Amino acid sequence: VYGRISRGSELRSGGDSRGTSNVLKAFDFPDPMLSSEGREVTVNSQQQLFVLNSAFMHDQAAALAANLRNEDGNAAKIRGLYRKVLARDPSAKELDIGLSYLADGTVQQYAQVLLSTNEEIFLP
Amino acid sequence: MILGTSRREMIQSLFGGAGTMAVSTMFGWPDRARAAPLGRYAGPATPGKAKHVISLFLYGGPSQVDTFDPKPALLRHQGQRPGQVEGFRTERETGGLLPTPFSFKRCGASGIEVSEIIPQLGSVIDDLCVIRSMYTFNPTHTPGLSLYHTGTVLLNRPSIGSWISYGLGTENENLPTFVALDPGKLSGSIIRSGFLPAEHQGAFFSDSEIEPKKMIPNLRNQWLDSQTQRRQLDALQALSRNYSESFGEDDYLNARIRSFESTYRLQAAAMDAFDIRKEPEAIRVAYGAGTFANGCLLARRLVERGVRFVHVGLGGWDTHKDLEQNYRERCPAMDQAAAALVRDLKQRGLLEETVVVWGGEFGRTPVSESGNGRDHNPYGFTMWLAGGGFRGGLAYGMTDEFGFQAVKKRVSIHDLHATMLYALGVDHTRLMYRYAGRDFRLTDVYGEVVKEILS
């Protein structure tokens, strides 16, 4: 989600006059005009709205799903998603949760779920 | 088995891992996330009965001698330097004493003198508790602003809104407890939760938009219906809880689990709560036009729905020059909206439980800057409060004869914070948070409750 971190060059993604993008701002990116020892850590509704509803998240999920088009079967698709998103395999329980979801949902929707996990959003 | 087991354990034992998700969907929300953040204040309740705060904040520092603190001596000594005022010092180069271009008039039954430039506030003066002896400790905007909102110049402490959110908790699980409205960029001190749990940070929205969908980015999902989204969320929460079980309790992860639930509900609730177009025409007209009017009206709608603390910001009060022209342009909209808010809250019976506080990070000098402006002045300035148990029709404290320094019944920013918490039922010495090896308070080691300004 953080994308490219170059201070003051994010105007294209709809930033303010100081050049910080709205997405970075929502996730506590420090003001480029001030010195800052680090990022403050907050949890707010704007972050969750971004994760749930933004075009960015929708597009990334769609791209992931398209990428996994040729994987055969739901278990393989879930494994593929975990490798691409979290760079690891799912645990048995995680696979279970994913399979229950896919019984009545799409790979794209589940890709968005994985993109929304703390593990992904706050990748160190 | 049933008596000795939590609902979640029972469900898991019956259905296995995936059961958590499926059954929580059936019941509404997952149980852990369902628990609303409760108020954490555990000290004794003060007699204060207020439940909400609306903070009208005028960035830049409004001038006391042109609004609520008449100083006829300025005219008598026009152009002179006030040599006899002890500790007289200004930040920039200043000239002689500058009388106000506005006349003052006694208002209401209380007869408090108010400037002609804010006649609407004059008309509700019997509901305002005017403190003419405010002082704070820093003459520069950023630290001054931080003092006003957090009680310290250090830029890492929680704001008063976060403390109140933390202390009193939420009354409406569908909306944030602490909302900040401002048309532009918001300074961090205003909404910062600092070391308090992350969910007490203020939710910042721009009141330059009045359509909820435009005001709140990403409020609606264009592709998925709410049922599908609910399923996504249930899966996400199940993954998060699973994750949390593997590495233990974490405040931050817990806050995010709760935040997802409140955000899910916010999507529907905000379409109504944040839409001032649902107000009758007469009310819209009473508040007037412009972002501050919209912000004040929205603040009332939010408080009515249980939001604890609403900050409404209005910039443009840093009048180093051209004060008169600036005030003639700027005061009418501020005056109308602030007065309408007080009247509206009163009519709805909400004023008793809502503290309205009005002010800026400091006041301005009685001496001129650039000929027709005024410099920063933290040594003495005016703020007012209304409702929430504050005594209306009271002018409290005094500045010296020129309005430079608070001299009688002085009220520091910490005293004000202590008194606001007292009005909310909270003893400021008992609302604490342990961090970095000691207990912290909004007022730190300072603050005296000013009981004379409470009824």
Q: Which stretches of B325-396 are assigned E, i.e. beta strand?
A: 354-359, 363-369, 373-377, 381-386, 394-396
Do B207 and B215 meet the contact criterion of CB atoms below 8 Å apart?
yes
How big is chain A by its Cα radius of gyration, in Å? 17
Mode of pairing for the β-strands spanning B309-314 and B52-58: parallel
Alpha-carbon span B186 to B159, nearest angstrom: 13
Average pLDDT on A91-105 reads: 96
Cβ of residue B249 closer than 8 Å to a chain A Cβ? no
Predicted pLDDT of residue B252: 79
Instruction: Tell me the pLDDT tens digit for each residue of B68-101.
Output: 999 999 999 999 988 766 667 788 999 999 999 9
The low-confidence residues of chain B, meaning pLDDT below 70, are: 1-38, 84-87
| Residue A52: closest C-alpha in chain B | B221
Query: Is B236–A117 a contact, with Cβ atoms under 8 angstroms apart?
Result: yes
Those of residues 7-46 in A touching chain B at CB distance below 8 A are 16, 18, 22, 31, 40-46
Which pLDDT value is given to residue B85? 65
Is A101 touching B (CB cutoff 8 A)? yes
C-alpha–C-alpha distance, residues B69 and B53, integer Å: 24
A50/chain B closest Cα distance in angstroms: 6
Whether chain A has a CB inside 8 Å of the CB on B264: the answer is yes
Output the six-digit token pair for B443. 């007022």
A60-64's contacts with Cβ under 8 Å and 24+ in sequence apart are A60/A111, A60/A112, A60/A115, A61/A108, A61/A109, A61/A111, A61/A112, A61/A115, A62/A108, A62/A111, A64/A107, A64/A108, A64/A111, A64/A115
What was the pLDDT predicted at B13? 46
Structure confidence at residue A33 as a pLDDT band (50, 70, 90): low
Residue in A closest to B254 by C-alpha: A43
B-chain residue closest to A94, CA distance: B239
Between positions 188 and 247 of B, the ones with CB within 8 A of A are 188, 192-193, 198-199, 201, 203-204, 216-224, 228-229, 231-233, 235-236, 238-240, 242-243
Residues 6 or more apart in contact with residue B94 via CB below 8 angstroms:
B365, B367, B368, B369, B375
Query: Chain A within 8 Å of B253 (Cβ-Cβ)?
Result: yes
Distance from CA of A22 to the nearest CA of B (A): 9
Show the CA angle centred on residue B337, arms to residues B332 and B342, nearest 5°.
130
Strand partners, B433: B440
Among B38, B43, B155, smallest CA distance to B418 is for: B43
Q: Do A104 and B231 touch (CB under 8 A)?
A: yes
Distance CA B381, CA B30 (A): 50
Distances from the Cα of B112 to the Cα of A32, B123, B383, B435, angstroms: 46, 10, 14, 45
Q: Which of residues 74-93 of A touch B (CB under 8 A)?
A: 91, 93
One DSSP character per residue, B11-47 reads HHHHH-TTHHHHHHHHHSS-HHHHS--B----SPBPS
A10 versus B110: which is more confidently predicted?
B110
A-to-B residue pairs, Cβ atoms closer than 8 angstroms: 123
In one-letter notation, the amino acid at residue B176 is P
Q: How many whole angstroms separate alpha carbon B190 and alpha carbon B137?
A: 17
Q: Which of B21, B217, B253 is closest, CB to CB, to A118?
A: B253
| Structure-token pair, residue A55 | 């075009």
Q: CA-to-CA distance for B196 and B259, rounded, in angstroms? A: 15
Q: Are B176 and B169 in contact (CB under 8 A)?
A: no
pTM for this model (two decimals): 0.86
Computed over every residue of chain A, the mean pLDDT equals 80
Chain B residue numbers with beta carbons less than 8 Å from the beta carbon of A47 are 259
C-alpha R_g of chain B = 24
What is the pLDDT, as a whole number, of residue A38?
Answer: 65
Mean pLDDT over A79-83 rounds to 96
Q: Which two tokens stand for residue B24?
A: 């929580």
State residue B253's pLDDT score. Answer: 84
Residue among A22, A24, A29, A52 with most chain B CBs within 10 A, to mutate? A52
Q: What is the pLDDT at residue B83?
A: 72
Q: At residue B7, what is the residue type? A: R
Looking at residue B251, its pLDDT comes to: 77
- What is the distance in angstroms between the Cα of B109 and the nearest Cα belonging to chain A? 45
Q: Is B154 on the interface with A (CB under 8 A)?
A: no
Q: Do A44 and B232 touch (CB under 8 A)?
A: no
3-class DSSP assignment, residue A39 = coil
